[in-house]
Amino acid sequence: MALDQAIRDKIIASVERGFDEQIAYTQDLISLRSVRGDEYVIQDRVFNELRSRGYAMERFDMDQDAIERHPGGSPFSEDHSRAPIVVGTHRPRNETGRSLILQAHVDVVPPGPESLWTHPAFDPVIEGDWLYGRGGADMKAGHAANLHALDALRRIGFQPAATVYVQSVVEEESTGNGALMTHLRGYKAEAVLIPEPEDEKLVRANTGVVWFQVEVRGLPVHVREMGTGANAIDAAYRVIGELRKIESDWNTKKAGRPHFENEEHPINLNIGKIEGGDWESSVPAWCRISCRISIYPGWTAQDAAREIHDRVAKFALSDPFLSNIPPAVTFHGFHTEGYVLDPGSEAETVLANAHRAATGKPLQSFMTAGYLDTRVYALYDKIPALCYGPYSENIHGFDERVSLASLKRITTTMALFIADWCGLEAIE
């Protein structure tokens, strides 16, 4: 049921008309510093924004117990966000179309040293086509696009003829537990769209992600006795060597895997953080490394975790220092599986049509080697899970930025997609 040409033109013009307002709202979201655990204010803002438009609102907390019992749940650490999840629900007068979840996360990764940013990280500066700021691309631009794609329909007197849930979650950058919580709460629809910054392409496959820490301990001695070799930082470097071997072994397993075998290096291990030692002239008694590794779809986080644990334990036995006090491996964040979007779903066809109408180009799909919340809906709701969003640069880096022209195009795609997937009814 393709959209009528006249309606399509009206929707395209309506996105254009609302775009200044959409940019201003996106800038507001960027200026709210919503790093992990600090998402209360932004979730409150999102709640009010949805409520002011008449959506039925719910705000709820994470259920740690239920999350940790679920196979897709990641363990809680003391850094886990306690900020609420926000869901706004649109109900049509007559439910004639197909229901939809529009989801986005508000948490952003830490900005790192401010001196490496051209503008302050949470200052939403526009230069030419680029909107700067930590979390602007990933993914406050998409977050605002969810709301404004629906606004574009309202502006011309229409609303979706099906239930639409607008979900605003946290913990996307650390555990994926926010998205899982919406599933556990019972929200379900016939498709989901998440506008992450994917360069106007559709994600065909992605990886799971596992976070872990390795802690090495030794006996502190004065440096003049360090010949005994019990230096926890040196030992941690040897453990990192073994972790690099695991990474290399997992990369050789790309052979025969569609979406992965043609990638140079699909599995990435990041040694993200290292802490250790207490004093320049004491041999360090402890060292802790915090790591992130990706896994192929179809591998469970549990199996990957077991392999990491066993390989580190085995390596420790071969090392004179580590064999005395084996390193402890703990899992403290992402514990998630990847997914593959089956081609040929009706939802994908509708998105491809909308994308062509908005951009004049065919929709391309690709593999992305990172975590995405779409996995919750693909793996546990078993619905078409579409991850598609604007062009960006430097997400998780310095001078993160999103293209405004691209943001307008993908918002247009989204509005057309909603109109076609859900159907439209006149607002009374």
Q: Can you give the binding site for Zn ion, defined by CB under 5 A?
A: 138-139, 196
Q: In what order do the strands lie in the sheet with 269-276?
A: 269-276, 286-295, 208-217, 328-330
List the structure tokens of 119.
């503008």
- CB 135 within 8 Å of CB 400: yes
Q: Which of 209, 170, 162, 206 is nearest to 188 (CA)?
A: 162
Least separation in angstroms between residue 160's CB and Zn ion is 24
Least separation in angstroms between residue 331's CB and Zn ion is 21
Least separation in angstroms between residue 44's CB and Zn ion is 21
Of the pair 49, 196, the CB lying nearest Zn ion is at 196
List the structure tokens of 338.
């990847």
Of the pair 173, 420, the CB lying nearest Zn ion is at 173
Q: How far is Cα 365 from Cα 360, in angstroms, rounded to an integer?
A: 16
Residue 222: DSSP 8-state: B
Of the pair 171, 196, the CB lying nearest Zn ion is at 196
**Closest-CB residue for Zn ion?**
138
Of the pair 387, 416, the CB lying nearest Zn ion is at 387
Q: How far is Cα 278 from Cα 388, in angstroms, rounded to an integer?
A: 46
- CB 316 within 8 Å of CB 323: yes
Least separation in angstroms between residue 203's CB and Zn ion is 11
Of the pair 112, 241, the CB lying nearest Zn ion is at 112
Least separation in angstroms between residue 43's CB and Zn ion is 16
Name, in order, each residue with C-beta under 8 angstroms of 115's C-beta and a sequence gap of 6 or more: none
Q: In what order do the strands lie in the sheet with 339-340?
A: 339-340, 202-206, 365-368
Least separation in angstroms between residue 198's CB and Zn ion is 10
Of the pair 39, 196, the CB lying nearest Zn ion is at 196
Enumerate the H helices of 156-262 as residue ranges. Answer: 177-185, 232-252
Least separation in angstroms between residue 305's CB and Zn ion is 23
Q: How far is Cα 149 from Cα 15, in angstroms, rounded to an integer?
A: 7
- CB 90 within 8 Å of CB 187: no
Least separation in angstroms between residue 428's CB and Zn ion is 37
Amino acid at 136: G
Of the pair 138, 215, the CB lying nearest Zn ion is at 138
H or E element, residue 50: helix 40-52
* Whole-Å CA distances, 327 to 123, 244, 246, 317: 42, 16, 16, 10
Least separation in angstroms between residue 402's CB and Zn ion is 12
- CB 427 within 8 Å of CB 160: no
Of the pair 196, 337, the CB lying nearest Zn ion is at 196
- CB 153 within 8 Å of CB 159: yes
Of the pair 8, 143, the CB lying nearest Zn ion is at 143
Least separation in angstroms between residue 232's CB and Zn ion is 35
* Whole-Å CA distances, 342 to 43, 105, 118, 299, 395: 33, 24, 41, 17, 27
Of the pair 196, 200, the CB lying nearest Zn ion is at 196
